Amino acid sequence: RILIFDFGSQVTQLIARRVRESGVYCEIWPHTASLERVKAFAPRGIILSGGPASVHDANAPTAPEGLFGLGLPILGICYGQQLMCQSLGGKVETHPHREFGRAFVDVDAPCALFRDVWLPGAREQVWMSHGDRVTSLPAGFKAVAHSEGAPYAIVADEERRLYGIQFHPEVVHTPHGAALLRNFTHGVAGCQGNWNMAGFRDAEIGRIRQKVGKGRVICGLSGGVDSSVAAKLIHEAIGDQLTCIFIDPGLLRHGEAEQVVATFRDRFNIPLIHRDASDVFLGALEGVTDPEVKRKTIGRLFVEIFDEEAAKLGGAEFLAQGTLYPDVIESVSAVGQSVTIKSHHNVGGLPENMKMQLVEPLRELFKDEVRMLGRELGLPEEIIGRHPFPGPGLAIRVPGAITREKLAVLRQADRIYLEEIRKAGLYDKIWQAFAVLLPVRTVGVMGDGRTYDSACALRAVTSTDGMTAEVYPFSFDFLNRVAGRIIGEVRGINRVTYDITSKPPGTIEWE
Ligand code: XMP
């Protein structure tokens, strides 16, 4: 296994991802970990990530004292390279011209890092992002590649198996970067490469058991991919020491609550508390029209009701959450410690002062890896492949005041829309698709009668992370079919529009 020290780079998780993709187990640790812990973990190799700091900063992050003397293979990337070179007696200088983006390196000498990938004399594309650079090497090191902006683009002390790279091999803009990392993990560090998601599951089950012992764990289950995978994994680890709390705010889509209960309680025998709290939520939301007030009200109620249900259970030592790597904002503060829960961490929202230890078995994974793990755990495809769904649910898809009646109308339209999307084989091509019930009534004619009913908008976007989004280009036939079905089958809707706003300038949700 490989240990990655995080110095705060935006792309540290990509290093981990590449290592896992090459079949090697790895963990990301804060750079503040002790040397004893490193020794106990017994990695075959260590990777030092990049980071925003300069080694000359007053509080520049450092590696554990003695790390470079352990005799383990170490690969320093960007800041990691600078830190390694400086620690071992080299020199790092701040350069007036930051190098950022695509660059080319000239390969000067053979090196185990690019064996069978790059040949001496070649010019290779890489991705640079740095202000500082190494300007003089520690004893034992030599430069094996250079670029215009970095005389020491790759440095190596093959004897001690210490390597430093100024550019970022983990990003896709370094075309052979994954091969270089693989050469480090497999070639230099001697990893076998036989790890896979089944291995992750087994290792994580071990870690959960060790952490939880005989303690009790509660897990807020929303029915989404992340909390579902976390709950199933934890249940495999500790069985009925886990209780899931599923709060139904009355704002879920058609059939969703039933599916959560059927899957987790009936099929997987996971202890599940199903609290129908629709009266409480819809009561509190009565007459509320401001989207932020809706969000805050819903967030607060999730907290209160979750608390209430947890108290009925007699409390618990551990709180499980399906936090993913991209959710982890403060990576350095969080490994293996008890932390105060932050509101952004959880879909349901939990009290800021709640002091339970967190169990977050997915915190090093990306969404697609969580889906792989979910398949490994035997979760049904409808849950694993499900589109993202916002915590406030349908409340933010009924602009203006919410009523039970409006929600019921929206649910029908949304169900038909998603049904047609699945039927057309488009569900997996779309990031998110849903209907919005507009607070607008328009005149129509059906049969021989005049109608005066609501309009509904359909939304479908593609995206990789929800930060930006493009409208999905349905065929006219498809839209026509959906509109015909909705108007024909849903009482209360007599007009359908398709929202063609991208994000930005629009947002994905309407509120
Ligand atoms: P927007 O509408 O901001 O949405 O473009 C981006 C992504 O975030 C989801 N979303 C939310 N998720 N609580 C959530 O848990 C919220 O209040 C919330 N608002 C938006 C949205 O569904 C999309 O996937």
Peptide bond before residue 64 is cis, with ω within 30 degrees of 0: no
Full domain range(s) for residue 266: 197-384
CATH classification of the domain holding 484: 3.30.300.10
Q: Summarize the annotated binding site as residue ranges.
A: 222-228
Going by C-alpha positions, the residue among 89, 92, 64, 90 that lies closest to residue 3 is 64
State the distance from the centre of ligand 1 to the C-alpha of 390, rounded, in angstroms: 5
Residue whose CA lies nearest to ligand 1 atom number 19? 390
Q: How high is the pLDDT of residue 328?
A: 58
Residues of the chain with pLDDT > 90, as a percent, come to 81
pLDDT band for position 353 (50/70/90)?
Answer: low
Q: What's the CA gap between 92 and 137, in Å, rounded?
A: 9
Q: Does residue 294 fall inside a structural domain?
A: yes
pLDDT digits (tens, 9 = 90+) for 364-394: 888 888 999 999 999 999 899 999 999 999 9
Annotated catalytic residue within 26, 78, 244, 456: 78
State the distance from the centre of ligand 1 to the C-alpha of 93, rounded, in angstroms: 43
> What mean pLDDT is predicted for residues 254-259?
95
Q: How high is the pLDDT of residue 103?
A: 92
Tokens 């970067």 found at: 177
Q: What's the CA gap between 251 and 393, in Å, rounded?
A: 5
pLDDT digits (tens, 9 = 90+) for 32-52: 999 999 999 999 999 999 999
Q: How high is the pLDDT of residue 326?
A: 67
Annotated catalytic residue within 168, 235, 345, 387: 168
Residues of the chain with pLDDT > 70, as a percent, come to 94
337 pLDDT above the threshold of 80: no
Ligand 1 pocket, residues with Cβ under 6 angstroms: 295, 347, 388, 390-392, 432, 466, 503, 507-509
473 pLDDT above the threshold of 50: yes
Q: Where are any strands of DSSP class E within 376-500?
A: 432-446, 449-462, 470-471, 493-498
Same domain, 15 and 50: yes
pLDDT digits (tens, 9 = 90+) for 201-223: 999 999 999 999 999 999 999 98
CA geometry: angle at 76 spanning 72 and 80, to 5°?
125
Q: Which tops the pLDDT comparison, 100 or 330?
A: 100
Q: Is residue 170 annotated as a catalytic residue, yes or no?
A: yes
b (16+ CB within 10 A) / e for 420-454: bbeeeebbeebbbbbbbbbeeeeeeeeeeeebebb
Which tokens sit at 23? 């079949």
Annotated catalytic residue within 99, 124, 170, 511: 170
Residue whose CA lies nearest to ligand 1 atom number 12? 390
Nearest atom in ligand 1 to the alpha carbon of residue 511 is 2
Residue whose CA lies nearest to ligand 1 atom number 4? 508
Same domain, 15 and 161: yes
pLDDT band for position 350 (50/70/90)?
Answer: low
pLDDT band for position 195 (50/70/90)?
Answer: confident
Q: How high is the pLDDT of residue 355?
A: 72
Same domain, 266 and 355: yes
Of 158, 188, 218, the last residue of a domain is: 188
Same domain, 146 and 7: yes
Cβ proximity of 245 and 275 under 8 Å: yes
Say which amino acid occupies 465: D
Question: Lowest-confidence range among 117-121, 323-327, 403-407?
Answer: 323-327
> What mean pLDDT is predicted for residues 446-465?
93
- Separation in Å, CA 471 to CA 153, 461, 502, 504, 510: 41, 4, 6, 11, 14
Write out the DSSP string of 98-161: EEEEEEEEEE-S--GGGTTT--TT-EEEEEEEEEEEEEEPPTT-EEEEEESS-TTSEEEETTTT
Tokens 């339209």 found at: 413
341 pLDDT above the threshold of 50: no
Same domain, 368 and 303: yes
Which tokens sit at 79? 């800041």
Number of folded domains that form the chain:
3
Tokens 């029915």 found at: 223
414 pLDDT above the threshold of 60: yes
- Mean pLDDT estimate for the chain: 91
Q: How high is the pLDDT of residue 142?
A: 96
Residue whose CA lies nearest to ligand 1 atom number 3? 507
Residue whose CA lies nearest to ligand 1 atom number 6? 466
Q: Which tops the pLDDT comparison, 368 or 2?
A: 2
Q: Does residue 283 fall inside a structural domain?
A: yes
State the distance from the centre of ligand 1 to the C-alpha of 394, rounded, in angstroms: 11
Q: Is residue 168 annotated as a catalytic residue, yes or no?
A: yes
CATH classification of the domain holding 219: 3.40.50.620
Ligand 1, from 323, 508, 510, 511: best to mutate by most atoms within 8 Å of Cβ? 508
Cβ proximity of 174 and 127 under 8 Å: yes
Residue 457, classed as helix, strand or coil, is: strand
User: Does the pTM exceed 0.80?
Assistant: no
Cβ proximity of 7 and 79 under 8 Å: yes
Q: Does residue 394 fall inside a structural domain?
A: no
Tokens 């599923």 found at: 246
Same domain, 73 and 180: yes
Same domain, 141 and 238: no
Cβ proximity of 49 and 79 under 8 Å: yes
Q: Does residue 509 fall inside a structural domain?
A: no
Of 135, 166, 188, the last residue of a domain is: 188
- The answer to whether ipTM exceeds 0.90 is yes
State the distance from the centre of ligand 1 to the C-alpha of 343, rounded, in angstroms: 15
Q: Which residues, listed in sequence order, are joined to residue 459 by a DSSP beta bridge?
A: 434
State the distance from the centre of ligand 1 to the C-alpha of 509, rounded, in angstroms: 6
Q: What's the CA gap between 246 and 348, in Å, rounded?
A: 10
The H-or-E segment that residue 373 falls in is: helix 367-376
Q: What's the CA gap between 75 and 434, in Å, rounded?
A: 46
b (16+ CB within 10 A) / e for 69-100: eeebbbbbbbbbbbbbbbbbebebeeeeeebe
> What mean pLDDT is predicted for residues 222-237?
95
N-to-C CA span, the chain: 45
pLDDT digits (tens, 9 = 90+) for 477-486: 999 999 999 9
Nearest atom in ligand 1 to the alpha carbon of residue 507 is 5
CATH classification of the domain holding 109: 3.40.50.880
Nearest atom in ligand 1 to the alpha carbon of residue 347 is 15
Nearest atom in ligand 1 to the alpha carbon of residue 506 is 5
Q: What's the CA gap between 174 and 167, in Å, rounded?
A: 8
Q: Tell me the backbone φ, ψ of residue 462, rounded to 5 degrees.
A: -105, 150
Q: How high is the pLDDT of residue 315?
A: 85
Q: Which tops the pLDDT comparison, 199 or 113?
A: 113
Q: How high is the pLDDT of residue 327?
A: 67
> What mean pLDDT is predicted for residues 410-436?
98
Q: Does residue 398 fall inside a structural domain?
A: no
Q: Does residue 129 fall inside a structural domain?
A: yes
Q: Which residues, listed in sequence order, are joined to residue 457 by a DSSP beta bridge?
A: 436, 497
Same domain, 178 and 208: no
Same domain, 278 and 309: yes
Same domain, 166 and 32: yes
Same domain, 13 and 140: yes
pLDDT digits (tens, 9 = 90+) for 56-106: 999 999 999 999 999 999 999 999 999 999 999 999 998 877 778 899 999
Of 188, 214, 232, the last residue of a domain is: 188
Q: What's the CA gap between 228 and 58, in Å, rounded?
A: 44
Q: Which residues, listed in sequence order, are joined to residue 47 by a DSSP beta bridge?
A: 4, 75
Q: How high is the pLDDT of residue 344?
A: 35
SS3 content of the chain, % helix, strand, coil (to 5): 35, 25, 40
Q: Does residue 399 fall inside a structural domain?
A: no
Same domain, 235 and 143: no
Q: Does residue 503 fall inside a structural domain?
A: no
